[in-house]
Structure 1
């Protein structure tokens, strides 16, 4: 006659798999998947949503005003990059690209530079003659001044960044085609917001 061990709990055949059956009956996998999708959609919306414009306390009217176009230097493009991180001493880094193959790789940029923002913005002056017919601009605010765009979970940037045409994408960076600009024929000013 077998001896029953008191240390091991006795389970009846009906109790085996009770939790597994309850999970299946309540459609646990489906509900968990639904919650995961809602969570990811929420993250994407937060990540891709533009900031409240009241965060930017910078007077943007002086360069963007068409009446001021005559006061621009001849044959230049002025690129004004505005940040919401007014207290950060880190530089804003900019790169100009001439092709989709080079886009996003700072080592292949045709022009790259960095300036420390004053009052929340920096301005670059680039001669029109050195720009190709079509180009794209990428900029980011290097808050910790480590020379690279810091990233977090799912490779999402954690430092403010922006592109020409103020292009954004829900998943990953915008494409080169979304950020392409034509070289202007006369002096002009553009603005990029990094957030």
Structure 2
């Protein structure tokens, strides 16, 4: 194969590759989670992000989690990138830093907790549908008040 043929083949392959659409990655949207009324200004706050009904509030079934140190403040803002869809957030504040949610003898948390949509359960844990919010574009703000 001569040089001209090789260059033509290379240029043609590059042009064909450039014309083909690249596979699309999941489009993440930037949202902001604002957590207020922290009980402690030093204890870690853990946020658990769920995107399925089946996994909601089940240990290890969250899509991802974040831990935030309040750094002396009673409120913090956390920017997060989420794929479009339905999401729910559960939050706990580990007051004694034992890396678990402490509960009383009937299973009710004794440390502060909260859910997206500021759902305040009275008898049982909330469901995904009560806590869900929709991510359908950038700029969404999810405000959550921690329950003592």
TM-score normalized by the length of structure 1 = 0.56
Q: What is the aligned-residue RMSD (CA, Å)?
A: 1.6
* Structure 2 Cα separation of the partners of residues 94 and 84 of structure 1: 13
After the TM superposition, list the runs of 4 or more consecutive aligned residues in structure 1 that deviate by more than 2 angstroms.
none
* Structure 2 Cα separation of the partners of residues 158 and 132 of structure 1: 34
**Are residues 1:137 and 2:89 paired?**
yes
SS of the aligned residue for 1:108 comes to: coil
Task: Give the one of 57, 75, 100 matched to 1:104.
Answer: 57
* Highest RCO, 1 vs 2 (Cα 8 Å, sep ≥ 6): 2
Give unmatched runs, 5+ long, in structure 2.
1-28
**Pairing 1:1-195 to 2, within 5 Å after superposition:** 75-87=29-41, 89-118=42-71, 119-127=73-81, 130-195=82-147
Larger radius of gyration: 1
TM-score normalized by the length of structure 2 = 0.73
Give unmatched runs, 5+ long, in structure 1.
1-74
* Structure 1 Cα separation of the partners of residues 108 and 66 of structure 2: 23
Bigger fraction of residues in helix: 1
Q: CA deviation at 1:184?
A: 3.5
Q: CA deviation at 1:132?
A: 4.3
Q: CA deviation at 1:111?
A: 1.6
SS of the aligned residue for 1:155 comes to: coil
SS of the aligned residue for 1:154 comes to: coil
Corresponding pairs, count: 118
* Structure 2 Cα separation of the partners of residues 154 and 137 of structure 1: 23
